[in-house]
Structure 1
Amino acid sequence: MAKVTNLDVEYAGLMSHNPEGTYLYIPPSFAALHPGSVGFFDQRGSWNPITDLSKKGRSETDGYTKPSHDLSYDEPTTSAWKARSSEPEDGHQARINGGTSDDPSVGANCESKSSVTSSGKAGLAVKGFTRREKIRAPFFNPSSVWASENVETILSKEFATHIEKNGLWVIQSTWVAEECAIRMTDRADKSVEVGLDIVSNSDSGAVPFDKLKNEGWSTYHDAKHEGGLVVSFSGLHFKPSQFQKSRQGLHEDVSVGHMNFESVMVGQTLADAEEEKAAEIAKGEKVKAAEIAKGEKVKAEVGARKTAIHRNTEVSDDVVPH
């Protein structure tokens, strides 16, 4: 994740073993951060959108170029998280999904984890179902092309210093909760474990946020009804870079500095990565098939011209009577 604040970086790092993207210490609304959103995180960890590729015409209205590829979206999916923590898969955990657990304090239909790491501990509890929304592949290439086309414009804006420090994001997928509670502590504090025990002992879907708040957890809810709160995301992260390009001058070639973006996918699931790879392979095969078809067409046209020329040479010079 891009460097924003120490708390953001530490929380994302502690939660990074979880498969659902990059976790957010300060969850923004889905209305602000959703698949197709373009923006940056400032030094306080707040999300700042600059345009929205999910809305047709918005990019042009905001002064950028039109995306070369229309984005397509998967149907939203839901899952019951209830709790996530910084516990790695090989650490102590209690997981119940209709099975049994060595820990009798863990309730049914939930997952509870706790951990102690060298830097600290973190936990997340969500109310109800977690909703995932995602842009289908291909995502990487169209987004990279758009960013490269607009790098000069973006870096001429008043927010350019934030992007130079923390980078630019194009969001591919989000995991959204109606209400959530987040806690991060040092290794000696037990409030993460206590909170996760409270969650695991609660009835399915009835997370007691008031009790978590009493344990020092920060609670968030979608007060403005903006589609929920984004607890984690995946996307394409861009960092500005400068390269030299030769240009012919009046008397000699000169080297001119150009800006572009270096990009990397962050928080992408294994399934999404495989989907992206399959889309690129399919695109390559489609291009190859088009080139073959074009070659066959040219070959056929050349053959037709040769046939016409051959026939013309066999035509008699006799005048055709009217």
Structure 2
Amino acid sequence: MANKSRIDRVFARLLMNHPYGWALYKKVSAKDLHPGTCGYFDSDGDWKILKIQNHLLDAESREPEPLTWGPKSSESVVCRQIGGSIGAPAMALPVEASVKLSVQCQSEEGAFIVTENPVLRHQIEDEGAAVGWVKANTAELVKTYKSIIDHHGIWIITKTYTSHRCAVAVMSSKSSSIELGISADIPGIFTFTPSSEWKSSGTDSAFEVHEDGQGVVAFISGIYFSKRIFGSELKETRGQDEQKKRFLRGKKEDIKLEEEEDLDSQEEYVVELFNCTASQE
């Protein structure tokens, strides 16, 4: 792969062009990751829940919103229909999917995800309440999970998109291509079905199929909290541009850079405070 980063990080980075948050390559069940949960991604990219006495699991959430999705791909990927009939009822084809889709990479890396419909959007009502919860429980979090916060930071999940079944792929060369049998029972909308299957043209692609009766998480949004060089409060980070080096990091150099940036901001604050105090005198 041209980019030496791990596949799950490449997948998340390449699908940032979609407005749904961070795309997950590795399987995570919706019962373990949903709005209101507090946790972290470990060194292998697996989601782990943090449990403390006053947990966010009871946070008020909106009613799930059902959505109809087609495939989502990075800008470097082109999808073409190569067989079947759009609009053919899926129920009429119990063994084979009604359409074949060719997924081709036009650069040195590409990513692709297709879900079974409906996709459910879950989100908490009040993100401010989530931030308040972290502030109220910072002492217990730092006491119980200091090492985790130091090395990984923690997330409060605010929104998820889930499906009972989804397929994910990362292509690592310009010649990469994959064929996927899917259904197109809604005109123009391709969906993943139990009869779907991958076919790869070579070894330069990685793909997986995830299933879970309670839902597989395809995309997440959340608020990231990390340690500060000074002070006892946790540093809050929102938005993908700001979260990118945290979510996609994996090298010690990245963590060191983050700490140096935080130190710089703290030094600027100390200088500003000193100047303000001096002027008052």
* TM-score between the two structures when normalised by the length of structure 2: 0.65
Measure how far apart 1:107 and its partner are: 5.9
Within 2, Cα distance between the matches of 1:210 and 1:106?
13
Computed over aligned residues only, the root mean square deviation of the Cα atoms, in angstroms, reads 3.2
- Distance in 2, Cα, partners of 1:171 & 1:15: 19
Whether the 8 Å CA contact 1:79–1:130 is kept in 2: the answer is yes
1:173 and 2:130 are equivalent in the alignment = no
Q: 1:237 aligns with which of 208, 219, 224?
A: 224
The answer to whether the Cα contact below 8 Å between 1:41 and 1:48 also exists between their aligned partners in 2 is yes
Q: Which letter does structure 2 place at the counterpart of 1:185? A: M
**2: CA distance, partners of 1:239 / 1:209:** 43
**Selected match of 2:122 from 110, 117, 133:** 133
Residue identity in the other structure for 1:218: E
Q: How does 1:128-277 map to 2 (within 5 A)?
A: 128-136=117-125, 138-139=126-127, 141-157=128-144, 159-192=145-178, 194-195=179-180, 198-199=181-182, 203-204=185-186, 205=191, 207=193, 210-212=196-198, 217-222=207-212, 225=213, 227-243=214-230, 258-266=231-239
CA 1:48/1:267 → structure 2, altered by over 3 Å: closer, same or farther? same
Which consecutive residues of structure 2, in runs of 5 or more, have no partner in the other structure?
A: 88-98, 242-281
Q: Distance in 2 between matches of 1:189 and 1:10?
A: 18
For 1:210 and 1:22, locate their aligned partners in 2 and report how far apart those are by CA, in whole Å. 25
Q: Are the counterparts in 2 of residues 242 and 260 from structure 1 also a CA contact under 8 Å?
A: no
Native 8 Å contact 1:24 1:232 kept in 2: yes
Q: Which amino acid aligns with 1:190?
A: S
Distance 2:199 2:143 in 1: 43
Q: Percent identity over the alignment?
A: 22
> How many angstroms apart in 2 are the aligned matches of 1:172 and 1:188?
36
**Residue identity in the other structure for 1:232:** F
CA drift at 1:267: 5.4
The 1:122/1:71 distance shift into structure 2, 3 A limit, reads same
Report the number of matched residues.
Answer: 216
Greater strand fraction, Structure 1 or Structure 2: 2
Whether 1:83 aligns to 2:83 is: no
Q: What secondary structure, in the 3-state scheme, does the structure 2 residue paired with 1:178 have?
A: strand
Note the alpha carbon deviations across 1:223-272, whole angstroms, 9 max, x for none.
xx3x21111111111111132xxxxxxxxxxxxxx32211122459xxxx
Change (3 A) 1:44 1:114: same
Q: Is the 8 A contact 2:14 2:74 kept in 1?
A: yes
How far is the alpha carbon of 1:81 from its aligned partner?
1.4
CA distance, structure 1, for counterparts of residue 171 and residue 82 of structure 2: 25
Unaligned runs of 5+ in 1: 52-61, 95-102, 244-257, 269-322
> Is residue 123 from structure 1 mapped to residue 109 from structure 2 by the alignment?
no
Q: CA deviation at 1:39?
A: 0.5
Give yes or no for contact 1:124–1:181 (8 Å, CA) kept in 2: yes
Deviation at 1:18, TM superposition (A): 0.8
- Structure 2 counterpart of 1:128, which letter? N
Cα distance in structure 1, aligned partners of 2:17 and 2:103: 12
